[in-house]
Copies of this chain bind each other. A is one copy, B any other.
Amino acid sequence: MSESAPRRRSRASAGLPPITADKIIDAAVELTAQHGLDGWSIRQISTKLDVWPGVVAHHVGDREAVVMAVTDRVIARIPVPDVSVPWRDWFSALMLEGRTVLRQYPGVARRLVVVGPNVPSALPTIDKGIKVLLGAGFGEHATEIYRYLLNSAFMLVAVEDDRDSYFPNARADMGRAMARFAADTSRPGLAAAGAQAVARSEDPERLAAEDLAFFRLTMERSLDGAQALLSA
């Protein structure tokens, strides 16, 4: 895992092209896809580019700056629906497509939710989303409802990321923990949850399908929750 010695003589004298901020961020994005946003080090990036660690600081900045640059790149990949789409469909589409992009880069969803409009590539989406809600009649609530809806969806993606990137056995442990209570008549609430946990397989493909189903449930409940404000 170390590969400690980068290269012998200077890049320039070896006829190699200079490192750029862009190349560093490319490498970081790739490492994020493989290991998540908290799964790589500055030193791994520098090893990958065959330079000394200090070079990353020189071109991009500290770790935080690299992370924000990766986040901006990934957010830019999320397709934004057209403003003519009805509000519920607009948000469903953004949430579902956002999820498939974000899930490929574990840890980015969390950053997005935490730093929000500090990510430049998120601005067009924010603009259109609020416009759509204003058009749907949410009035003064448009901004906070936008925040509520996107939080609901992408906070859940962040949890999905954490579950299988950072604590890979949390998923199975939880299932087994619950299944133990299936026959516990003294605790009917746990028993109900346990019964469903028993039915749940440990096949990763089925688990992924269940994650998607729960994501859709969250989406629909949150959209209903927002809609209740319109009827009031």
List A residues at the B interface (Cβ < 8 Å).
110, 113-118, 123, 126-132, 134, 142-148, 151-152, 155-156, 158-159, 162-163, 166-167, 170, 173-174, 177-178, 187-190, 192-193, 196, 214, 217-218, 220-229
Assembly CA distance A224 to B193 (angstroms): 22
How many chain copies does the complex carry?
2
Contact check, B222 vs A143: say whether CB atoms are below 8 A apart: no
Contacts of A221 in B (CB 8 A): 145, 148, 222, 225-226, 228-229
Contact check, B155 vs A156: say whether CB atoms are below 8 A apart: yes
Contact check, A131 vs B214: say whether CB atoms are below 8 A apart: no
Assembly CA distance A116 to B165 (angstroms): 16
Known: A189-B128, A225-B221, A225-B223. A117 touches B177 (CB 8 A): yes
Assembly CA distance A117 to B218 (angstroms): 19
**Which among B144, B170, B222 is the interface contact of A225 at CB below 8 angstroms?**
B222
Contacts of A174 in B (CB 8 A): 115-118
Assembly CA distance A196 to B143 (angstroms): 8
Q: What is the distance, in angstroms, from A203's C-beta to the closest C-beta of chain B? A: 20
Assembly CA distance A226 to B229 (angstroms): 14
